[in-house]
């Protein structure tokens, strides 16, 4: 046989073998299990999921990508939701979890049924599942490092936390407290839960302010900066340096203060579009790709220099965002 022809046949064989090893996902059904939708970040997350997955279904990449959100942020309700998804025969379940470990039983049931489980943002610790997260602990610590740079003399801090019991809340708070322990010129003199929502944060801060000494800065988790600013204003207290969380109302308020008096801060959060990364990771796993169990994506930070640009690109009521394509997901999976 001609060597060139022989090589061509071998090459074709390798291509066919590689193609055969990759499953076709056009008939696969993916579900999103979301534990909470009561703030702008979660609304943006669901909107990004809907936008990207609808196109994927239209392109016949998958057969369905349905989203479900529990009525309350309750572990028992989300566990029941996951069990229903198992009964409905979904091929993959993408989870933003109410708890890192309390859902492990339901997640294990899904894995045992042959279902791919990908958790993101609020991740789960069950070994059979995949996890996509930013380094939330470092995100919290970075807030304190920023304050160290801006106010080396230190001062009293107010901490606004997120949803109690959720992995994200615990990790960001750990990072903040670790940063304060390493920089004892700062002292946390008050802590409240704002549930990552401006209205909840405003009420919580307003309730605790009368009992607090002078506050130099507010460390936050996102969705609470504007509410905190309004609470200080209503109490006729000096506006401290408030770390923001990439919400449009926070960025708009920051710009107003910057233009009026040179107010300076920073803003940081995970992009709501991480849900779309989780979708593509699930699709790639169903497609037979070898995907590491733990994937880390960078958080989205906004500083004084790029405030206006990010504000202009963030819709009213929304959150500064990044949505992921299949190619983006492949780069994350490959460690790029």
Task: To the nearest 10°, report the CA torsion of 91, 96, 100, 103.
Answer: -50
Based on the domain organization, do 123 and 219 belong to the same domain? no
166 vs 237: CA distance, rounded Å:
31
Task: To the nearest 10°, report the CA torsion of 74, 80, 82, 86.
Answer: 180
More confident residue, 315 or 15: 315
Residue 148 lies in a domain: yes
Q: What is the pLDDT of residue 72?
A: 83
Based on the domain organization, do 152 and 261 belong to the same domain? yes
Residue 157 lies in a domain: yes
Q: Which domain holds residue 119?
A: 23-134+271-298+328-333
Based on the domain organization, do 212 and 226 belong to the same domain? yes
Based on the domain organization, do 277 and 130 belong to the same domain? yes
Based on the domain organization, do 105 and 155 belong to the same domain? no
Return the CATH number at 106.
3.40.50.2300
Residue 325 CB coordination number (10 Å): 12
Residue 12 lies in a domain: no
Residue 39 lies in a domain: yes
Based on the domain organization, do 184 and 151 belong to the same domain? yes
Residue 47 lies in a domain: yes
Based on the domain organization, do 241 and 290 belong to the same domain? no
pLDDT digits (tens, 9 = 90+) for 58-68: 999 999 999 99
Task: To the nearest 10°, report the CA torsion of 307, 311, 313, 319.
Answer: 110
Q: What is the pLDDT of residue 18?
A: 39
Residue 5 lies in a domain: no
Asked whether the predicted pLDDT for residue 8 surpasses 90, the reply is no
Domain boundary among 251, 269, 287: 269
Based on the domain organization, do 158 and 76 belong to the same domain? no
The phi, psi pair for 222, rounded to 5°, reads 115, 135
In this prediction, residue 235 has a pLDDT band, given cuts at 50, 70 and 90, of very high
182 vs 192: CA distance, rounded Å:
22
Q: What is the mean pLDDT of residues 75-93?
A: 97
38 within 8 A of 44, measured Cβ to Cβ? no
280 vs 62: CA distance, rounded Å:
10
Residue 323 lies in a domain: no
**What's the number of domains the chain is made of?**
2
Based on the domain organization, do 108 and 39 belong to the same domain? yes
pTM of the model: 0.84
Q: What is the pLDDT of residue 20?
A: 33
Based on the domain organization, do 147 and 259 belong to the same domain? yes
Residue 140 lies in a domain: yes
Domain boundary among 253, 269, 285: 269
Based on the domain organization, do 257 and 155 belong to the same domain? yes
> What is the average pLDDT value for the chain, to the nearest integer?
92
Based on the domain organization, do 229 and 292 belong to the same domain? no
């Amino acid at each position: 046989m001609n060597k060139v022809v022989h090589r061509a046949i071998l090459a074709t064989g390798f291509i066919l073998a590689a193609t055969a090893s990759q499953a076709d996902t056009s008939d696969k059904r993916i579900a999103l299990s979301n534990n909470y939708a009561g703030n702008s970040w979660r609304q943006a997350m669901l909107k990004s999921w809907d936008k990207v997955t609808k196109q994927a279904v239209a392109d016949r990449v998958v057969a369905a990508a349905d989203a479900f959100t529990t009525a309350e942020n309750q572990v028992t309700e989300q566990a029941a939701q996951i069990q229903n998804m198992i009964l409905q025969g979904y091929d993959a379940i993408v989870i933003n979890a109410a708890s890192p470990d309390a859902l492990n039983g339901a997640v294990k049931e899904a894995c045992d049924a042959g279902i791919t489980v990908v958790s993101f943002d609020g991740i789960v610790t069950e070994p059979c599942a995949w996890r996509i997260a930013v380094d939330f602990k470092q995100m919290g610590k970075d807030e304190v490092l920023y304050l160290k740079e801006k106010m080396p003399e230190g001062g009293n801090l107010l901490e606004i936390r997120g949803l109690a019991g959720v992995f994200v809340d615990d990790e960001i708070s750990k990072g903040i407290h670790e940063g304060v322990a390493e920089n004892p010129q700062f002292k946390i003199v008050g802590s409240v839960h704002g549930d990552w929502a401006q209205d909840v944060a405003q009420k919580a801060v307003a309730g605790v302010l009368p009992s607090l000494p002078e506050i130099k800065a507010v460390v936050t988790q996102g969705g609470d900066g504007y509410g905190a600013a309004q609470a200080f204003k209503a109490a006729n207290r000096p506006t401290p340096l408030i770390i923001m969380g990439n919400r449009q109302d926070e960025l708009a308020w920051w710009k107003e203060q910057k233009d009026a008096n040179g107010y300076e801060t920073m803003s940081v959060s995970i992009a709501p579009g991480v849900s779309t990364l989780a979708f593509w990771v699930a699709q790639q796993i169903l497609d037979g790709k070898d995907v590491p169990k733990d994937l880390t994506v960078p958080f989205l930070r906004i500083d004084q220099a790029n405030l206006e640009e990010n504000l202009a690109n963030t819709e009213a009521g929304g959150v500064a965002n990044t949505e992921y394509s299949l190619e983006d997901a492949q780069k994350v999976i490959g460690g790029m």
